[in-house]
Structure 1
């Protein structure tokens, strides 16, 4: 039992409680001092733990694990067709990711983030799950290390959800970057994933891009549009967009995110606040099929 408890990261007393209350213990054991867990028993416990991390109650998690048709596979993450409806709920995903992140369990956190992105889609997952999780972590001064771990998990999940667009709907790319001075710009990666899934070709230039580098990228690529993300209230729209050269074809300029002040933006720049609206607007303007 001690070895199984260490593997799951729980106390042996927890295993005894799960067995006594929910009947999720070694099925083939005989009376005696030592309790022997077969591989299928351990797999059921792993399924229960995964369900608990997703926010369901212990009774629901045990019921799911006991009714699973494939316990012997040792599934590390619950398959879509086997998940109870509660697990697919956004609030349950928030609870699960928070629990795994607070425990600094990077593997489970990554699995839960990827599952939420896959189930909900990149935009709905960001708005309904990931942004609330990161917002809550950012509101506590002692959670910087947890927030950074979750950010890396989200970044990996968004990169994984971004298809390679080999034949784009737009003949000229959309340049994406973060505003100077903001070193972390996860929404830019969410925006890229959503646009790529819509068949829009993009070029990601990363966060904290200097205005001179943005201007040089426009000259080199002749993009259809430029979208710059800012999360924090700031001035400097003229500085960021003022150096973007005018080209023979019109380059659409978008100030994305809540950080821009409308009266500080040059006249040729359009402000787009939310990610979903930004995707719709960019797709409508530059993503008409050729």
Structure 2
């Protein structure tokens, strides 16, 4: 199975955003040593606790610190940027690190209304994702009136991060699809089926290519694997009740703190739907997921407080497939 990594540069209690970014670069070197295929970074704006706000800049640092692993974005949120500028940025990356750069693109806008206003974009921009994608790809193929240097003529593989309508956009443009399993297995399979049915071969891909994105936590015991999920689950519950992501805290600290009934419900909900357990349990769950979806690749994300335990999880997972 082809396995890749998505890291969101999460801040941990007792440290800050600069440390989170440096941790991401160090983690990329470790992922390369373990044999992972890609290492992608994300884009979040105005979100305390998430340091990854400039993915192409961070991707450059990751690519400079590694030598073999493919490096990309999961993803650049296209509605936040002019397509020409995005093309130029990836053209620079591909020129500096030829044959190693991926262009993962999403259609989300800011986390809250104030952030969207600061970015100068809104939900209508997200709805126009297909137009922006076509324009962006045109700068690489030379089909635009303005030439996007140094992107013009380069081959940077595009990926669309999407569900529902976004999956149909990926199919119409003939590009690989990255889809999260967090919305539920049946909904994910429906979107993948629609993507494959509507796929139009293009200069970027002759046939559909599906990457499943999933949170995966592996440990020697099922209890330890579950505990890896606790810090991020609480951060998600906190964000939905208070509007920001707190730094990741130790599982014992999370479990010991009082929660309102709403917080408790959101916390428990955020713990569901992930792949976690012992190596044999995770292998069984991932094999089932890949069999049902016929996915070509799995993009793994694991955010937790203990970096050593996180790396152990990725090491155990690599030992199953790589």
Global fold match (TM > 0.5): no
User: What is the TM-score of this pair, normalised by structure 1?
Assistant: 0.32
Larger radius of gyration: 1
| More RCO (CA 8 Å, sep 6+) | 2
Greater share of residues in strand: 2
User: What is the TM-score of this pair, normalised by structure 2?
Assistant: 0.30
Greater share of residues in helix: 1
